[in-house]
Structure 1
Amino acid sequence: MPLSEDALAFARKPAASKYRYPDDRLAVADLLERWNLGLGTTLAERRMALRLSREQAAIELPETEAETVVSLPSVRKALGTAPDVAEPELAEPAEVGDDDEADLDDLADEDDFYADALEDV
């Protein structure tokens, strides 16, 4: 929901009196709650919020920040610690041949059929 500068300025004033260190995100959240537009006001919104929180909880995050950075492929390549990637094995090419010659023998007999058709007319 887009907010104007006036709405943001208005939201900052009550947040400044309510919190010791307010920020814009907190001020806007309080303003939306005041206007009854915050999350969880309807049953459908509560279900959506619950579903999103369950999905976020199911995501496996690395335990430490070091694991996160080192696990990136670009960082491993830059540091020279990238594991050696084995060359993929090439599959043997499929056997190809000309199978049309066997079919051409059958077509020679069909040409005679059409030659006889014009004689009857």
Structure 2
Amino acid sequence: MKKTLRNTILGLTVTALFISGTLCGCGKKAPPIPASRLDFLEIEVAEQEKYIQEAEAKYLEERAKLEAANDSKGVRLLDTMNRERLRNEKQILKKQQKELEKLRQSEANKK
């Protein structure tokens, strides 16, 4: 019973350290928690834009590999899958950007 309790406390301590950022990413601190919906949405939009850019770069890299291997069927399949996925991601990004703009305008009107 005592050992189980000690292990539970140790586990919770390690979990708390990960959450606080002490043990994540080679001693890097975790990013601060956003204070408002506006801050949160700004972070989300920036991360979504970064994700889309990385996905497009990865797609182009994969497409170049398939073209180098003369795999036209693979290229077509990759194009189809990528087109659908990126279209959905870009639609989500546009919605987030519109919401962010509305929040910025409402914040500006409050001041």
TM over 0.5: no
TM-score, normalised via structure 2 length: 0.27
Q: Which has the larger radius of gyration?
A: 1
TM-score, normalised via structure 1 length: 0.25
